[in-house]
Amino acid sequence: MVGTSAFADISIAGAAGLAGSGSVFMGSLLRAFADASIGKNIVKLSAMVMIIIAKLLMDNKRSPMLCGIYTAVSVLLSGAAVSVVIGELIYKLAFYIFYSAAAGFTTYSLCRIIRDIEKGAAVKLTASSGCYYAVVYTIYTASLCSAQLPFLNAGVVLGIAVTMLAAFYYGSTGGVVCGALTSCAAYLSSPETGAPLVLLAAVGLFSGFIRQRRISLAAVIFMLTGFMLTVLTGTSDDVIYSLANYVAAAVLFLASAPYYSDRHIRVPQSTADSDSVIQARLAFLADSVAAVRGDTKMIAEKLTKKNENSSAAKDDTEEVCGKCYRRCICRRQGSSTMKGLEALAVMPEISLETFPAELDTCIRRNELMAARQKGINDETLGKLMDMRRSDCRGILSEQFAIVEKMVRDISEKNEIFYSSPVSITIKNKLLKFGFSPSYVNACYNSRGRLIAEIYFTAEDAPASSTRICDLISDELKLKLTSSDIISSGSEVRLRLYEKPSLNLEVCTASKKADETDESGDTFCIFSDGTGTGYIVLSDGMGSGREAAFESALASGLMRRLISCGVGEEAAARIVNSVMFSKSKEETFATLDIIKADLDRCMLTSLKAGAAATLVRHGNEVIKISSDSFPVGMYEESDITENLCVFDEGDIAIIFSDGINEGEYRFIRELLMGENDLKSIVDEICAKSEKFSPFNRSDDVTVIGIRAVSA
């Protein structure tokens, strides 16, 4: 190898046990005798003797580190001794230092591989383990390249076949890596051997694009591509010799590819593959939750029918009449007594005035009345329990629907491309300045905007996001914006993002109802940390402090859930459940949610009992309305969703229910004739009383949104 003896057999002797080391030494010695090359291989042979002696003295320990050290020291001492004998120590000492280090590291890598195989562990071609396999593969392929066969080169044939296999099963990445290592091994053997394989990595790159198609097709394409590139480079004088190597490698690939399995081989998975697996599992989980919800509803309906059938009207008087000695006499009286008992059994309430006249002569009248009253009480309690169970089933079904929606939102494929280099850069920068992030996820969205999520434990959380934003902006040479710090309890998350090309201009105007100290309307304007803007307007029932509390609870909870990553519809359903179950009193609030996706120029409107929204798009005004109910009225949410285009210059107006629909025509004319957003909002709010449908005044909130260039 490179004009000197290869150290492949030395590494085997260093990594194997005592018996294995002796066997390798005997084989090398016999080969040297057969080739009359004892003098040429004296360094290698003497190094093997030292390795065997070291294993004898050290109880044959097979620690990878010790084996590597034994080998390196033995090669260095042997080379130095031979150099002293021939009087060339000064000239060859540097070479033997390098030679011993390479042999020692190869031994260490081989020993690590052997130890993992003996433990039955999978072959991990990742991180440091991948480095060990790459070193051993390169060195042993280079050694095989020196084993000349008629018309073939054993190392070249093996390397090309391995490259074919890697390109076929692992795509371009596998083809490039194995092709580059094979070219390196061939050049280590000799420049003449390596020159025809100089473009093998490129062959692996092109062949990787037809991964896992027909094996025969892949072999033909790989062979033709490799042969053509070899000829075009002009590096091979013997074209037939190169073609024979590719043909032999293709035959070896065809024979081995059908039996190859990645069961015991672990390679780095691409982010796309991992995302596909996660999305498929989450989608299946969402479908399973939906199926369970349907089964639960069906079972509940069947049990309800069964209870209704089994709880048919029971004769509450049976026990009283059964103990009476006049029972037989009453039965003989005929239909009048029986009619009286039947009338008594269906009476909703009992008293002396309503007691059936057919039973006036009954000697157990008071006992009949008490028994019937007990039956009425039991029926009333049963109805109440049925109503309670029905409410519980409704809430349970809604909770299942919320879980299903949340899982399905996560399972939807997003056009996000994760960047490991940027993630590492951000983390290293923060560590350098005393911050301790748990992990960092940096990615680019479909428009190429950078979005970085930084997670901290609650103990290591920064007090402010400004310092971190400045550090990362300076490091990446980008103008980044930071979101609010969101806490999950044990962890906090901070998002940094590049602003989209569009921004939101927001103007508000509000007016309290007469004789109230506090408005019942609450709104919040925020971003989810990715550049998507949200406006949430909530109107509580009535006006004053109680209405303000209801609307603040609804809007605040929506903001927190959306900022934590919950989808808008799922968040609205959670808010509905909280409002419905938080107290015995009837409390509800409207929800009007605007989501502005400024990358796609889309506006999403979600409404729960809210007034209509007017959108000026180009030269037309679009009305977005819904017939939904406010949150908190029923156990199941009633949310409507609408989408519309929202380009630069477009305006959207949302308002609380203090605005009557009669004002919509006036607002349309105002939107088409006016361009000052603040003037539009103030004008609508000022004239709201004239268009109010109520005799009393109500709280009024008007919010105007316009897309402007950032």
Residue by residue, DSSP assigns 561-581 as HHHHT--HHHHHHHHHHHHHH
Confidence class for position 606, pLDDT limits 50, 70, 90:
very high
pLDDT over 90, % of the chain: 26
Mean pLDDT across the chain: 82
Q: Stretch 369-375: mean pLDDT, rounded?
A: 77
Residue 235 has pLDDT above 80, yes or no: no
If DSSP codes are grouped into helix, strand and coil, which group holds residue 602?
Answer: strand
Distance CA 484, CA 378 (A): 56
Under 8 Å CB-to-CB from 219, ≥6 apart: which residues? 164, 250, 253, 254, 257
pLDDT for position 312: 38
Residue 448 has pLDDT above 70, yes or no: yes
The model's pLDDT over 637-694, given as tens digits with 9 standing for 90+, comes to 778 999 999 999 999 999 887 566 667 788 888 888 888 999 999 988 888 777 665 5
Under 8 Å CB-to-CB from 49, ≥6 apart: which residues? 25
> Locate tokens 């982010």: which residue?
271
pLDDT for position 274: 62
| Backbone torsions φ then ψ of 294, nearest 5 degrees | -65, -40
Confidence class for position 626, pLDDT limits 50, 70, 90:
confident
Residue 21 has pLDDT above 80, yes or no: yes
pLDDT for position 421: 87
User: Which range has the worst mean pLDDT, 57-66, 121-130, 600-609, 645-654?
Assistant: 57-66
pLDDT over 70, % of the chain: 84
Q: Report which listed range, 84-93, 486-495, 573-582, 642-651, is most confident.
A: 642-651
If DSSP codes are grouped into helix, strand and coil, which group holds residue 544?
Answer: coil
Query: How many alpha carbons lie under 13 Å from residue 464 in its C-beta half-sphere?
Result: 4
Distance CA 631, CA 581 (A): 11
If DSSP codes are grouped into helix, strand and coil, which group holds residue 540?
Answer: strand
Under 8 Å CB-to-CB from 263, ≥6 apart: which residues? 122
> Locate tokens 């057919």: which residue?
358
Confidence class for position 311, pLDDT limits 50, 70, 90:
very low
Confidence class for position 375, pLDDT limits 50, 70, 90:
confident
Distance CA 677, CA 683 (A): 10
User: Which range has the worst mean pLDDT, 409-423, 584-598, 600-614?
Assistant: 409-423
Residue 309 has pLDDT above 60, yes or no: no
Token representation of residue 40: 């040429």
pLDDT for position 353: 67
Residue 307 has pLDDT above 60, yes or no: no
Confidence class for position 310, pLDDT limits 50, 70, 90:
very low
Counts for the chain of helices (H) and strands (E), in that order: 22, 20
Q: Stretch 316-327: mean pLDDT, rounded?
A: 67
